[in-house]
Amino acid sequence: MTATMRSSILRTALAVITTAVFTAIPALASQSEQQQEKFQRSFALNPGGTLRVENYKGTIHVTGGNTNQVVVNVVKRFEGSESARKWWMDNLRINFSNDSSRVAVEVKYPNMECFFCWDLREYSAVVELEIQVPAKTNIDLDGYKPDIRVSSVQGDIRIKSYKAPMTIASTVGAIHIETYKDAIRLKDVAVRGGLEVTSYKADMDIEAKSLDGASRLESDKGDIVLRVPSNIGLDVDYTGGRRGSFHSDFPLTASAGSRFGGDVHGTINQGGAHLRLRTVKGSVSLQKLGGTL
């Protein structure tokens, strides 16, 4: 075979491969589009109203803004066979209810009851919720393991989950969280009416520019880091197990304590709001945040 013939064969092979690749790209894109569905719903909500969301997994992302409406953007995302996709899309239910003071979103995932329907079992599917709300809105979220984010709202926040990673940023109001594990991040929050976070082994990283009202942070095995302004006044009540540890950047007039755990009770800057800290095996660190109240 001559060099010219080999070169011609190589060019032909490359052309065939290139054509196949670029032909497949639109097909893959089309398949990806078919595997998800999107829609939007809007509801009027008075200032100080409540958004209630239940979503087992996927995402719940809520952002406050200059609006008088709740806008819910829904993405139903699916990976699996066409028969499974059709079954899941047909049986998924997303329920909405509303009045002038409350908007509720409930995601009900299909229940698999057919034991021998193997083609329907091999799939991955979630519902993603991106929600815009009026800035003055109370937030009530419930989910087993969705990714949770709340930002820029002025209202009370209540979250219940099992293992949902969550981030709360730039909010004003009370915060109540009940979860089992994963990570909790609060950044640039102004607490008005109390801060309460209870978990079994979730790690907490909290930056609070104010703590108005009683606060309670508890995690049996997770670590707790709380950053507050250097001039804040607090009455501190720490309870730790034998394998727990406590650290404070602040001068603390403690009546009891142990570097191996135990209890610490005392005041910071002549006292103020009550702060209860509890761990069994984790570490608790009370640190200074840049700036003052």
Phi and psi for 182 in degrees, rounded to 5? 90, -160
In this model, does residue 29 exceed pLDDT 90?
no
Report the candidate in 269, 268, 289, 286 with the shortest Cα–Cα distance to residue 277: 286
**Residue 28 confidence (pLDDT):** 39
pLDDT tens track for 52-92: 999 999 999 999 999 999 999 999 999 988 888 999 999 99
**Residue 21 confidence (pLDDT):** 45
Q: Which residue has the tokens 């393991």?
A: 145
The CB-based long-range contact list for 97-100 (8 Å cut-off, 24+ gap) reads 98/43, 98/44, 98/45, 98/70, 100/44, 100/45, 100/46, 100/49
Element (H, E) at 106: strand 102-108
Residue 233: pLDDT band (50, 70, 90) is very high
Q: Stretch 27-42: mean pLDDT, rounded?
A: 67
